[in-house]
Amino acid sequence: MMIKPITSVNVPNLLTLIRIVMIPVIVVVYYLPWEHAGFTAAFIFMVVGFTDWLDGYLARKWDQSTPFGAFLDPVADKLMVAVALTLLVETFDSPAMTLPAMVIIGREIVISALREWMAEVGQRASVAVSYIGKVKTLIQMMAITGLLAFEPWTTLNWIAVVLLYVAAVLTLWSMLVYLRAAWPMLSENMDSGVDTQT
């Protein structure tokens, strides 16, 4: 049986695929027995994170948005963040890092499930990315970059820790915004006893 080629791999989608491929590279570099391993991993994370904005910009500019890209882009982002936070939780070995990491990763799981459910009932647009979510993402990427780059509990690292807590607060806020937008549909289905589970 012949395998059909993926015809939706345009430049924006290729950038998204590169972002996923670079995740294990970041992990390997971070663990290298080298003085500048953390800084190098942070630099790669920052550059790869920039492609998140770039692929979206190019998709809109060149009118190359595809269902494949719409699916893959948030997956790449969540994988990058979850893996990076996991590295940091191990490095810090402290509740001070574990708590915001759990909040951020937990929120991503909740919102992903919410968006999937809303798509099933034809209300996907009700949980579109909000302005708060975009600000949260920017601060989160800055925080993770700083945390990867600098030794734990140094001055610059503390700044990154504070930014991560700001991102965690915005994470909860944006989750409430999404849940509030989806609540009319959620409460309607609860009242009617509709079961959308598969």
Residue pLDDT, tens place only, 58-91 = 888 888 888 877 788 888 999 999 999 999 999 9
Q: Residue 1 above 50 pLDDT?
A: no
Residue pLDDT, tens place only, 131-163 = 787 888 899 999 999 999 999 989 999 999 999
Residue 126: pLDDT band with limits 50, 70, 90:
low
Residue pLDDT, tens place only, 40-58 = 999 999 999 998 888 888 8
Question: pLDDT value at position 187?
Answer: 74
Question: pLDDT value at position 113?
Answer: 84
For the chain, domain boundaries: 11-189
For range 108-117, the mean pLDDT? 83
Residue 197: pLDDT band with limits 50, 70, 90:
low
Supply 98's token pair. Answer: 């574990």
Q: Does domain 11-189 have CATH number 1.20.120.1760?
A: yes
Question: pLDDT value at position 127?
Answer: 56
Mean pLDDT value across the chain? 85
Neighbours of 97 (CB within 10 A): 19
Q: Residue 3 above 70 pLDDT?
A: no
Question: What is the value of pTM for the model shown?
Answer: 0.83
Q: Residue 190 above 70 pLDDT?
A: no
Question: pLDDT value at position 148?
Answer: 96
